[in-house]
Structure 1
């Protein structure tokens, strides 16, 4: 274990510093939280605010004491790695805790209902009833949205709405409902799953009253003055498109060209907005009650947040590397079949690449309270990344009059099809606005 490297890092989801063992309960709560969440390291003998190494006296005795505390007070049994690390003229005790396959762990004397903790940022949070159930499902390898709803039958799903959602992709058959796990067999009956009801349920909000999207455009950088708002209560597939349309409506700004010409462009790449909204819908914790998915647009940023922390075993640092765990398998499977998700784990990477290519700051990813938030920043921090052909296309369009694809193709020397591919990429990056709406549109 590289102590010097750990000391350079602040406390967070997988790291905590402890001055000593004078408060053993605090150390035990952290160990429980690490085991229940994503693992982590506790360093005993380090000041938590300054990261100053105080060291520990009698390291062997302290190691034995902590091992006994863990054995006596944490259930189910947990065996982290304890290591005494030399530091100058003293020592530090490192406790390496791995994410556990037998969650939830808890403090014996507090019981499972009050003694189970999870890690949120650099703090330990007592797991409420919903989190305890999620910990148990995770240990069993189950997804919340794959669970049956035995009080209903298959007619609780609106097959017409499901068919219309799939119409642009393929014809939906009744048998596909089983394949996608929109319905399942429970005690000899075909019943909808939670995911099926969330996606296409006839009385969806009766069972899941917070499964909708709240969207708003605010003046300035806080929520003191609202300019526009809407509540999107449609089925999730359509709700995604409505929320994205709202964001796109408010995501334009003008750039003056000369004295009278004006060229419009996105203030944030459409592909980044799309990935943020889809990510929120697919990964939301629909077992939580009290708040919907939210999309908020300010003068300097766009925020998309959903109920639910990151799935257990994931950290914020994992996301840019394409590491992902699907919380809602039915919703994810259906979105993949609809072409809304291209490849598992690639959404955050596409979002970050789109912002980088548009010259924007990287998105901020946060766990706040019991919610996950993506913030897309609108301020330019650099020039967009363009190759020679893309630069030529933007120069052609810079007078603001607009060009059809065939006209651009003649100038850049590519086929209309190849030019169209280039133009679509520029639209996704927010550098070009598409006016035409179909292949037959003369403005396209």
Structure 2
């Protein structure tokens, strides 16, 4: 098997069994493709786009590009392909592909042997929110052919309806996990504490609670996935989830009334529910305070009412626009003010904040 960093996981417990399941299908599906030795970086990028979009259309969590399997009879023929040896202008294949994909789906290479012959698998997460494009062109697999998405308006319309149909919170943040892997990445004690429930110790009981709340889900290959809802709320480390890593809260304390000199800066690590109390304590420690005498005792009182700040920070976390990549909630503390912002434009015209009917983003996240 290929080596993984901590945030890369096997497709399932057995890559060989996955390949054999795909081989046993009577025809290539739109969301998986068999090749022998294709190593053209541009073509691989186009297939990542096409298979990611096709997987979303088919309701699958991911698509697959498999090397070493013959197209027609699905026989194992082996492959010489190894992504480590593919270079583009002296750049490794993976970062080169990532630089040309938008948005970048999660994709990982895996290797095994079947009947003594080498087989390679590229797992690609399904498109989320937007179609995946390579070099600004979105592709899709139709039948056994790779096509430009804009040349097929019916499929393009159906894809975007599909992308809009599932709430962001219930889409997969990390797939191909065992049940224990999934729970180990989430803060289980924090979940029970915040739900005002006794902490459970039986694995099956914990698993049922997390499945029922759709913090994790079962996937079609018999593995598990952590949903965006589970990761955003209870992740032990949001950096483990590539497309959510920049959604952690950033707190900056400036010296003076402008951004010229930052005294302190901290990027959050935990999911929003797990880390909220720690976040608010950290913010409180950076705020100016005044001394008041109460019942003959001297008491430090924050210059800002914490109940108000808690509400503002919570709303910034919950109602951000997750379709905007590369940025997240930001708390900036100046000498004379505090600014709390998040990605996205208001759903209501600011001039109508007082009298317009309420509208909100991410209602599933809000309700939990």
Return the TM-score normalized by structure 1: 0.39
- Normalising by structure 2, we get a TM-score of 0.46
Instruction: Name the larger-Rg structure.
Output: 1
Q: Which has the higher contact order (CA 8 A, sep 6+)?
A: 2
